[in-house]
Amino acid sequence: MSNKVVAYIRVSTEEQAEHGYSMDVQKQVLEDYASGHDLDVVSTFTESESAFKPGRPQFARMVELLEKQKAVRAVLVYKIDRLSRNMLDYTTLVEKMGMEIISATEQLPRNATGRLMGDMQAAFSRYFSAQLSDRVSEAMAAKARKGIYPSYAPVGYINDREARTIVPDPERAPLVREAFERYAETDVTLGDLVTWAKERGLTTRKGGHFTKSTIHRMLTNPIYAGVVRWGDVTALGIHEPLISQSLFGRVQDKLHDRGQGRRARTNSFPFRGLLTCGYCGCQITASKIKGRYVYYHCTSGRGKCEQPYVRQETLAQHLQSIVDGVRVPEETVRVLLAEIEKGESNREERVNARLGELERELGEITRRRDQAYLDKQDGVLAMKRWRELEAGWAKRIGLIEEQRESLGISLGSPGADSAREAFELLERASVLYLEQSPDEQASALKILVSNCKLKGETVEPDYRKPFDLVAEGLRSGNWYA
């Protein structure tokens, strides 16, 4: 196998840079790893943007290079989560291009088990990013429940950092109040208010001109009447209202009256978009029968189809087989975890060896610094040269300290514990599925599968990574190809 690789380095936030993930640290670790494993790094790509969403410029350049240089079949990274905070990019490299992902700080066996765990770490990186987002959302919702507006102040208010609330904007608050009054008490339309706002100099929070949609959003925001609404949370705010509840209610009544007949209600069909027909390949759609019962059926876009109508409750029961299809038996989990723990032990040995090397290098630098200082004092070493040496040593010591901190963090990474939690989650997934609403069930299924074929009442899933490997391992019984 070719030893040519490309290196990919990413720092997404200053916080990561401060806690051992700086580009200098990652670069040094990758160079050391490549040297110790006889890898030829043909190019290094550094990225300073978030990897939670696809579309990173350096990643795109790396893919372009890999497409041209067929001899390069692997990507070297500091940790898998430096590469794969979204599954699209990871799948592009592994599935479409057949690349091997080599982690310098995570010991993964180079077999099917290693590929499985690499894919799972990529998926969990995405999960942990989403989980972090959920935690931030929950923290903001907690503020809202206390009556605190948790984000940037809407137009008409400004943030008061000391009071930890929002206060009326002296310039815009009177104009916002007037906009509500004009809409409630005159025959102006939203379009008229757009023109009025432009004439009066009322702009959005970012300084742009209002549009019909932004005017409508402002008029329907209860924050101006003293109520904080954040997602599903509605609470009485601690801030000063700009208008009365009565005025806000009159505006809502007028908006409602003018909006009647323009918006058709849509039915919620949670499993729509998840299924295709196993007979003809068309999409499975849904309809309400007798205004109450939801049935799923083929769109019959290619002519009459033999796929029968399936009631939503029945379909939900059959879709549970998708969840059951990735439930790993306890004995198999024990074997896989033993393999992971073995890799963890090897990784710890390498990390401790590297820490020892850094400690020795630090001692040697200290010895040289002390000797150089004495030579400077004795006039043997010129002041200019001493300063040059001192600056170089100080920089190298800083880099060593960062590497030591980074390696220390990697020693404390969850490893097998994280994998054990993942398998336990899959084990409980079937029970959790039964307790969920159809909307929640559909959301869970969309994490596991990209599509399903419905043939009669039989469901054939196309699992996403890494669940496809879990399902295949369960089907074949072979986890060690």
Q: What is the pLDDT of residues 31-63, one digit of tens each?
A: 877 887 788 999 999 887 554 444 578 888 888
Confidence of residue 103 (pLDDT cuts 50, 70, 90): confident
Find the DSSP H helices in 221-329. 245-259, 312-324
Dihedral pair phi/psi, residue 159, rounded to 5°: -80, 135
Q: What is the pLDDT of residues 351-377, one digit of tens each?
A: 788 888 888 888 898 888 888 888 888
What average pLDDT does range 130-136 have in this prediction? 48
* More confident position, 297 or 426: 297
Residue 166 and residue 155 in contact, taking contact as beta carbons nearer than 8 Å: no
The pLDDT of residue 315 is above 90: yes
Q: What is the pLDDT of residues 388-433, one digit of tens each?
A: 888 888 888 878 877 776 666 555 554 555 555 556 666 667 777 7
The pLDDT of residue 174 is above 60: yes
- Grouping H, G, I as helix, E, B as strand and the rest as coil, residue 181 is helix
First to last CA, the chain: 17
- Grouping H, G, I as helix, E, B as strand and the rest as coil, residue 454 is strand
The pLDDT of residue 322 is above 60: yes
- What pLDDT is attached to residue 279? 93
0.95 surpassed by pTM: no
Rounded Cα distance, 469 and 426, in Å: 14
Within the chain, what is the greatest distance between any pair of CA atoms? 100
Q: What is the pLDDT of residues 255-287, one digit of tens each?
A: 877 655 444 344 468 898 889 999 999 988 888
Q: What is the pLDDT of residues 111-121, one digit of tens each?
A: 555 555 555 55
High-pLDDT (> 70) share of the chain, %: 73
Q: What is the pLDDT of residues 65-93, one digit of tens each?
A: 988 888 888 888 887 766 655 556 666 77
The pLDDT of residue 474 is above 80: no
- Judged on CB neighbours under 10 Å (0-12, 13-18, 19+), 47 is buried
Sheet strands side by side (includes 284-289): 284-289, 293-298, 310-311
- What pLDDT is attached to residue 169? 93
Rounded Cα distance, 123 and 117, in Å: 10
Give me the helix-helix angle, 312-324 and 438-448, nearest 10°. Answer: 40
The pLDDT of residue 102 is above 70: yes
Q: CA geometry: angle at 53 spanning 50 and 57, to 5°? A: 65
Rounded Cα distance, 233 and 151, in Å: 14
> Nearest-CA neighbor of 372 among 352, 351, 392, 396?
392
- What pLDDT is attached to residue 418? 53
What average pLDDT does range 228-250 have in this prediction? 87
